[in-house]
Chain A
Amino acid sequence: MAEATQPAGVPASGTPAPAATANVPDPVAAGLWRASWRAIKSSWAGRLSLLTLVLIVASSLAAPLWANHVADSGPLTNHLTDQIRLNGELTDVVSFEGIPIGPTGQKRFFLGADANGRDIMVRLLYGGRNSLQISLVATTITLLLGTLFGLIAGFFRGWVDSVISRGLDILQSTPIILLGIALGVATALGGINLGIVKIPGDSLFIPALIIGVIQTVYVARPLRGITLSLRERPFVEAARSQGATNMRIIRREILPNLGTSLLVLAPIIFAQTVSYEAALSFLGAGVQPPNPSWGTLISDGLDVLVSAPHLTIIPGAVLAAMVLSLNLLGDVVREAIDPRGMVAAAQKDEH
C-alpha cells in the first residue's frame, strides 16, 4: 500500500511514453463486486437476467436428480422397445412406424421422446449441463490465456509484444467460426494426444479447449492496451524506484488494476462462448453425439420440426435466454464499473 501513496517522482528512466494511449479504468478493485452487485440489484434487467441465469444453472445442476428420481432414465438410455402407461393405456415410447411419443406431462417422458426413445427432458437438462460445463471451462481458458498474453505483451513491450501481437493478428485474420470448425473436425476423430495427457475425441474438454483458445484475442487485445498505459502510471514508477522486481510489479500493481476490465469482459465472453458452443455442436464440430448439448438438441430437433416443434423451440429458447441474460448482465455491470467505456475503447483502438 505504501507503494501506491508514494509521490510520482521523476519520469521513468529513459522509457518513452507508450504508443497506445488507452485510458485505464479507475482502480477501485475492492468495490468492484459490490458496485456490480448493487447495479444488478437496482435494475429490472439485471434482476431478471440474474434470476434466469440462476434458474438455468440450477436446473442443469439438478439433471441427475431428475434423471434418477423422476424420469428414471439416463441421457443416453434408449427406450426403443419400451412401453409406458399413458392415461391408463400402455403406449409404445416409439411407435411401430418410428414416431416417438409426444410430451406426456408425466414424470417419465415429460417432454416426450426422440427417435431413439430417449427421454427429451433428461437430455435437455443434461444438454444444458454439458453446454454450461464447456462454456465455463472455455471462458476460464480464454480469460487466463488472454490475461497472460495481454499482460506479457503490454508489460514487456519490445520483441515480446511484437511476437504476441503478430500471433494475435494471424489468429484474428481467420474467421473465428471457420477456425472453430476446422479445429473441431481435426480433433473429433482422434482427439488430442499430448503424450502425457490424452483427450479422446468425444470428450467435452475438446470443444471447451477449442473455444477457449480461439477467443483469446478478444481478451488479450484490450488487456494489452490497458497494461501498456498502466505500466507508465506513477504507482508503478514508485514501486520500481523502491526496487520491486518485474514479477512483483505485475502481481501487486498491474494485475489488481486489470480487475475492472476482466469483470467487464467476463460476461460478454461467457455469452459468446455459449453461442459458439451451440453453433459448433449444431454443426457437429463441438459436442459429439450421442452426448447432448443445446446445439446438438436443436440440430436433432430441426429434423423433426414438422411433427415435434417443441424439440426445437425449447432448447433454443433456453439457449437464447442464457445468452441474452449474460449479455444484459454484462451491460449492467459495464455501466456500473466502467461508465466511460474505457474497456470498450481499449478493445477498439488496438492495432
Chain B
Amino acid sequence: MIGFIIRRLASMVLVLFAVSVLVFAIFNIIPGGDPAVRMAGKNPTDVQIEAIRKEWGFDKPVTTQYAKMIEKTFDGQLISYSNRENVLERIKEGLPRTLSLTFWSSLFMLVGGIALGMLSALRPNSFADRTINAIAVVGISLPVFWIGGLMSYYLGSKAGIIPAGGYVSISEGGVLDWFWHLLAPSLAISFLFIGIYSRVLRGDLLDALRADYVRTAEAKGLSKRRVVVRHALRNALIPMITLWGLDVAITLGGGAVLTETVFDLDGVGAYLADSTRSLDVPPVMAITLLGAIAVVVMNAIIDILYAYLDPRIRL
C-alpha cells in the first residue's frame, strides 16, 4: 500500500508539472501578438506594457518566464492589471462561497444519482426507467446559464419562492439562510450531473446484478435488499463515484463558472467569469492553474482511496 501511494504521488507531481506547462503554453507560447500586451488588458499604455514585460520576464528565455509565472501565482503577489486587484486575495475571498456551493451540489448529485440509478436498474425498461432516461437527456441538453438565469428571475425576483441569488454566510444568516441561498444554484448544477450519474450507475448496477457473486449471495438466502445494497451496489458504485469526485474537484476549482455567474454567488467561478469578460489575463491564468491542480490532486486522492478499498488496484 505504501508503495502504491508513493508511486501515485510521484505520478501526480509529474502531471501537476505537465499541467502547469500547459497553462504556461496557452498564455505564453501560442503565437498571437505580444504576451505583455495581452497581460495588460484592454487599454494599456506603453509604459505599462514595458513594465509588465520586465516584471514577467517576457524579454527573457522561456524557462525564466515559466519560473516567473509559477512564482507570481503562488507568492500572493499576482495583480490584475485591469483593476489592480490582488488575484490570490480575491480567490481566497470567493473560496468559502464556492466551497459552500460545492458542498451542497455534490451532496445533491450523489444522493440523486444513486437514487435514480438504483430506481432505473432495479426495474429496467419500466416507466420509471424511461422517465429517468428522458430527464437525463434533457438535463445534459439544457444550458445551465439559461435555465439558471430564468430560475433566478422567475422563481426568485418575480415569484419570491427562492432567493434571486447572492450568498449569505453561516455567520451572517445562520445555517438555514445559508442553505436557502444555495439551494437553487446547487439544484441547477446537480440537474445536469444527476442525469449522467444515474445512467452510469444503471449500467454498472445491471452488470453487477448479473454477476456470479450476486447469484451466490441470493443462493445463500440473503434478502433482496441486502443483496442489492451490500453486494451489488458496493461494486457498481465505483465508476460513478470516480466521476463524482472529479466533478466535485472541478466545481471547487472554479468550474461552476456559469452557475456562479447567473446566481450572483461571487465565488471563484464568478470571479473567473468577470475576468473573462474583461479579458483580464492574470486571474484567468491563476484560476485555470489552481482548478487544474484541484482536479489532479483529487484524482490522486480517489485512486489512493480505491486502492485502500479494493486491493486488486494496488497491483
Contacts and interface: CB of A to CB of B under 8 A. Distances in A.
B258 interface: yes
Interface string A280-294: 001111000000000
A85 to B, nearest CB: 33
Nearest to A188: B279
Interface stretch (A2-10, A99-107, A179-187): A179-187
B145 A282 contact: yes
Contacts of A302: 145, 149, 262
A175 B295 contact: yes
Contact of B279 (A179, A189, A192): A189
Residue from B34, B145, B281, B291 whose CB has the most chain A CB atoms within 10 Å: B145
B273 A283 contact: yes
Contacts of A299: 145
A298 B141 contact: no
B179 interface: no
Contacts of A331: 137
Contact of B38 (A186, A195, A327): A186
B245 to A, nearest CB: 13
Interface in A37-79: none
Interface in A286-342: 298-299, 302, 305-306, 309, 312-313, 316, 319-320, 323-324, 327-328, 331, 341
A348 interface: yes
A300 to B, nearest CB: 12
B150 A279 contact: no
A125 interface: no
A283 B280 CA distance: 13
A182 B285 CA distance: 7
Interface stretch (A25-33, A153-161, A166-174, A220-228): A166-174
Interface residues of B, number: 55
Contacts of B292: 173-175, 178
A161 to B, nearest CB: 17
Nearest to B140: A327
Contact of A306 (B37, B147, B153): B153
B38 A178 contact: no
Nearest to A301: B149
Interface residues of A, number: 53
Interface stretch (B20-28, B89-97, B215-223, B225-233): B20-28
Nearest to B285: A182
B312 interface: no
Contact of B254 (A169, A178, A285): A178
A308 B146 CA distance: 15
A298 B144 CA distance: 11
Interface of A: 166, 169-171, 173-175, 177-179, 181-195, 201, 271, 275, 278-279, 282-285, 298-299, 302, 305-306, 309, 312-313, 316, 319-320, 323-324, 327-328, 331, 341, 344, 348
Given A181-B276, A279-B143, A331-B137, 20 more contacts: A174-B23, A175-B255, A178-B287, A182-B26, A184-B276, A185-B275, A186-B26, A186-B32, A189-B32, A189-B33, A190-B34, A282-B143, A283-B277, A298-B146, A306-B157, A312-B149, A316-B143, A319-B143, A323-B143, A324-B138
